[in-house]
Structure 1
Amino acid sequence: MQPQLNLLMDNKVTLYGASGHGKVIVDILESQGIVIAAILDDNPNLTQLLHYPIVKPTPEFHADCRNVIFSIGNNHVRKMLSDKMNCTFATAIHPSAIISKHSKVKEGTVVMAGVVINPATTVGKHCILNTGAVIEHDCVISDFVHISPNVSLAGNVHVMEGAHVGLGASVIQGIKIGKWATIGAGAVILKDVPDYAVVVGNPGKIIKYNSANE
């Protein structure tokens, strides 16, 4: 018998997505004593994430859900879900993250262990700032962005909606990374990146373009 989800418990967090990424978010929440109300996933083959049973989401949940975090690594899927669900959202911030009091992190975003966010930076909704990433002063991280582990963004970098900056990439100051662009692992970005571009190497070079639905 599946556990029942109490939608009215505003002091708890519900995770949507039973993935490896979800395991990291569970660890963050548990480290701060935050209660996990449920973990939802519509894959019938998944029954448990760590020690939590997985609950199938219902139409009622989609219509009225509270304190949700999308524990899904795919930027497009997070955007699709946020567009169709009537939810309020929580954030998950690891206690070892260093976030300037002069910066802002918006709802639905997850900040992993060892992340540094320096002053006058804004991080949008439903972003992933992964382990050990450094976001310098005056950066703008738009909604649904994924900044991978050990990425370094210098000052005044703008990362537009849905972009994915790969493992260990470095971006010099003042650069704009276009919406839904992909920066390859270890790339060094020395000039602006167009929307949907896929950039790899040192220095970074465009090798192709993503489609709007990739």
Structure 2
Amino acid sequence: MTKLFFSEYEEADQPPITRPLAIFGAGGLGREVLMLIQQINEYEPTWHITGFYDDVRPQADSIHGVPYLGTAAELNAVTEPLHVTVAVGNSRSRANVVDKLTSPQLFFATLIHPAVACAPYQQVELGVGCIISQGCILTCDIVLGKHVLLNLGCTIGHDAVLGDFCSLMPHANIGGAVHLETGVYLGTNATVIDRVRVGAYAIVGAGAVAVRDLPPNCTAVGVPATVIKRHSV
């Protein structure tokens, strides 16, 4: 029988050290990000979820047992260091929230589902605040900017570059050497084929296939993706 000294017993009995984390965004994506955090914690206890924040107060005082704690102003007023994840699906809206969270006590967390391969040999560069959900596949030599959202089951090919605040909805597919500029939004099952460049804050609709470059601030739909609308900046 192995002897367990008292000092060893104390160490073994200690709860795992976790970091406090708040979720900004109390809607559907916020609940999905809560699930992602819980999945991360099941694999390795990492985060202690303090609560939800949102500038629109939810109907209930708590969401899946996690309390609603206030608006961006109240989040900026925290007095202790706190990690934050911004669970807002719209690219521009997420950028606006990040711009509002200015407290030096706030640090943006990067969340990656534990089953997503992201090993050093893949040469994947991640900016702060990225959210990578279950079922995503990233190959090699990829750059993700700050606060990029990869929803369930997205695939990212070799040498792809995704700018800050890009948002990919479930099962969006990015080919090799694709460049998505800042804030591009890809709808569910949208595809961008190899070497295509999509301009800043363009929207590629659900199921669309981008086979040629798309300009910034537009909406493109269909197969092949065709611009149907230009957005004012």
Per-residue Cα deviation, 1:87-131 (whole angstroms, up to 9, x for no partner): 320011111222352101211111011001111101111111011
Matched residues, percent identical?
Answer: 29
Q: Is the counterpart of residue 96 in structure 1 residue 96 in structure 2?
A: no
Q: Is the counterpart of residue 122 in structure 1 residue 135 in structure 2?
A: no
* Cα distance, 1:45–1:135 mapped onto 2, change above 3 Å: closer
Q: Which amino acid aligns with 2:98?
A: S
C-alpha separation between the residues in 1 aligned to 2:55 and 2:219?
A: 31
**Residue 42 of structure 1, CA deviation:** 2.9
Question: Please, which moves more after superposition, 90-99 or 143-152?
Answer: 90-99
C-alpha separation between the residues in 2 aligned to 1:100 and 1:205?
A: 37
**Residue 178 of structure 1, CA deviation:** 0.4
Structure 2 unpaired stretches of 5+: 1-16, 42-46
Match of 1:13 in 2: 21
Structure 1 unpaired stretches of 5+: 1-8
Which structure has the highest helix share of the two?
Answer: 2
* Cα distance, 1:61–1:170 mapped onto 2, change above 3 Å: closer
Contact 1:10 1:66 in 2 (8 A): no
Match of 2:76 in 1: 62
* Cα distance, 1:138–1:51 mapped onto 2, change above 3 Å: same
Match of 1:43 in 2: 56
Q: Which amino acid aligns with 2:51?
A: A
**How large is the RMSD of aligned CA atoms in angstroms?**
1.8
C-alpha separation between the residues in 2 aligned to 1:58 and 1:182?
A: 27
TM superposition score normalised by structure 2? 0.82
**Residue 58 of structure 1, CA deviation:** 6.3
Contact 1:100 1:117 in 2 (8 A): no
Match of 2:3 in 1: none
Question: Please, which moves more after superposition, 104-113 or 32-41?
Answer: 32-41
How many residue pairs align between the two structures?
Answer: 204
Q: Rg larger in 1 or in 2?
A: 2
TM superposition score normalised by structure 1? 0.89
